[in-house]
A and B are shown apart, each in its own frame.
Chain A
Amino acid sequence: MRQSPMEVDPAESLKEAGEEQIPEALPLMASSQVQIQNIQESTNIWPRKDTWVNRICYETKVSREEALFYLEGFKWNLDAAMEACHSKTLPEQPSQLNNKLISSLCNAAGGETREKAIACLKLFNSDSLRNQQMGDEQMDNIVDKTRAANRDKSLPKLAANLPYDLVEEILLKLPVKSLARFNLTCKEWGSLFSGHRFIYKQLVNSQYQFLHSRKSEIWVVKSGAFQIRDFGSDEVIKSMVQCEGLILCSTISPRRIVVLNGSQTRWIDKENLSVYDFFCLGHDSKNEYKVLRFNFGAYDCDCESYAAVAEIFHMTTNSWRLSDIQDNWEFTRQPPMIVSVGGNSYWIASSDGKLFVQSYNFSTEEFKPLKLPLQQVKGTKTLVLSSFRREGLSLLCQRHQDLSIDVWNGIIVQDRSIVWGKQFVVTGHNQQILYPVPSFFITEKKIVMFCEELVEEGTAHIKVINRKEVLSGRKRGIIAWQVKVSVG
């Protein structure tokens, strides 16, 4: 089986990536590095209008305002605008007329900025954006309204009549950064963003994304890589688990734990954390969130005592309670990859050489071992667990011998057992050993893997394996792309 690694031009790979709507769960990171393989399909990675500005900026190095100017001038024809940016050809008449209108608006409204003028135009009169000619009357009308708004220093109360779930619809589309800002609007809204219903909906609506931690920073990797937190150089992250939009991190020194969501951060007080502590985050059937801390009893010289222990922290009562521990098993990998489904935690463990899924149920507060579809796999392999559609698990197994990848889906039945079914098998000549271990999840047609490494600042590798191609017997099964983003 001959493998021929291909030369990859980074710029090329950028253009040939795809953005998918994959509304599934959020897998956990492990550290690994993977090389880019063959570049496959050619799909547009900038399908959305707001990212066209980015694309133009990236390719022509113009400023955002300039890119926007050309895009609007060419009526959002991306190719024409791109061309114009390159050649610095000004767009045609209509936009220049708009510019005139905007300028006069600016003057009339008492020296307002362009952006404000455009905003007011959008608010009060849509025709102006379209019509080439505008009567003086209409013009006066807009100018008056703009003056009035400017005088009141207020934007019109547009959303006064909006029913709550529509407000939510809008909020769900907002990026995390905006939500963090809007936390400040009032107390009710502040708690809104942390409400379970909202977090859950965010999950439903979010496109696929991976979480990645790097020193003291947390990154979300989607079609770009976005830093959502930085705890400062003192708080280096040791482990990270997540459950339905909430993230739990433990830091190295000092040893602390913190729970956060998109917009809020909560440090939990706990003395005597051991470096060998493991954490799970979940909730019970009443949606009460809890944190499990357990330790096999390894000696940590910085701790006062060491004994096997399991403790539960209730987020609502802010208190710790002891729980039963089962310690007749081991993790199969360090750091452990813990997956959260339905509020409970799952991970691959081994006991007496046999592999199984260890689970922790936050309702009954117990460990429960569950079956894997394979107890032993001959030869070295890569085994990864992930969540599937918020109710089940996915298992990826790659045999290193022939590099084939098996994917299984498991349905969790009443928290007591898992029913596994084989989804598909990926074979092919141009595979690589997935090492170290990727996070992944599956859609109908693809496996999307993040073999975690932000290679340079803001560049991440995501691999997509297209199942369709596997089924039709084509050889090249892997697409990979580099996602580049500007940092800071």
Chain B
Amino acid sequence: MSSNKIVLTSSDDESFEVDEAVARKLEIIPDMIADDKAILLQNVTGMILAIIIEYCKKHVDDVDSEAKNELVMTWDAEFMKNIDMETLFKLLIAADYLKVKGLIDLTSNTIADYVKDKSPKEFREIFNIENDYTPEEEEELRKQNEWAFKDLN
């Protein structure tokens, strides 16, 4: 099988040469692969693009099935561990733009895990939400959802 190489260039002029199969994991690409073997991705920085490419290389042989290979999942977990939260959010936005389905799921899962045990207050801070409940309303809601606050420290 011939392996065509495609060059992906980030918004800050970093270029990455990858196999076509890897590039196709970015599902926004097939529309863009026409004559050029070089594609400019204006909305993604080099740092983020590098991470995405690393993911795609690992997952290039993925079969879209229900059962996930345990080795791959271990790799995924480790991969996510090494990325800090700020970058994770940027990664999610980029993965969504580039349409890398598996990575969108993986990243949002990781963020969800990070967020899930937070209190409403912390949640507001992360997502930049203003609280428009009155203290009474909040107390009432809290009472109604008592069971959800049980093992929150």
A residues whose Cβ falls under 8 Å from a Cβ of B: 20-22, 44, 47-50, 75-77, 121-126, 129-130, 154-163, 165-167, 169-178, 180-190, 227-230, 263-265, 443
Contact = CB atoms under 8 A, between A and B. Distances in A.
Interface in B127-153: 127-133, 138, 141-142, 144-145, 147-149, 152
A470 to B, nearest CB: 19
A181 B119 contact: yes
Given A157-B128, A159-B89, A170 B108 contact: yes
Interface residues on B, range: 35 or more
B77 interface: yes
B86 A185 contact: no
Interface stretch (B13-21, B30-38, B109-117): B109-117
Given A158-B86, A166-B93, 10 more contacts: A76-B78, A124-B84, A126-B84, A158-B126, A160-B127, A163-B96, A173-B109, A178-B115, A184-B141, A185-B120
Contact of A159 (B68, B119, B128): B128
B70 A186 contact: no
A9 B132 CA distance: 54
Main secondary structure of the interface of B (DSSP, over half): helix
Contacts of A171: 112
A271 B122 CA distance: 42
A172 B115 CA distance: 12
Contacts of B3: none
Contacts of B142: 184
Contacts of A187: 132-133
Given A123-B84, A174-B115, A175-B116, A186 B73 contact: no
B41 interface: no
A275 B131 CA distance: 43
Contacts of B127: 157, 159-160, 162, 167, 185
Given A177-B148, A229-B147, A170 B84 contact: no
B138 A126 contact: no
B28 to A, nearest CB: 15
B124 A186 contact: yes
A327 to B, nearest CB: 38
Interface string B80-116: 0111111101001100100000001100110111111
B61 interface: no
A174 B128 contact: no
A314 to B, nearest CB: 23
Given A162-B92, A181-B120, A21 B131 contact: no
A181 B147 CA distance: 9
Nearest to B120: A184
Contact of A169 (B104, B118, B119, B122): B104
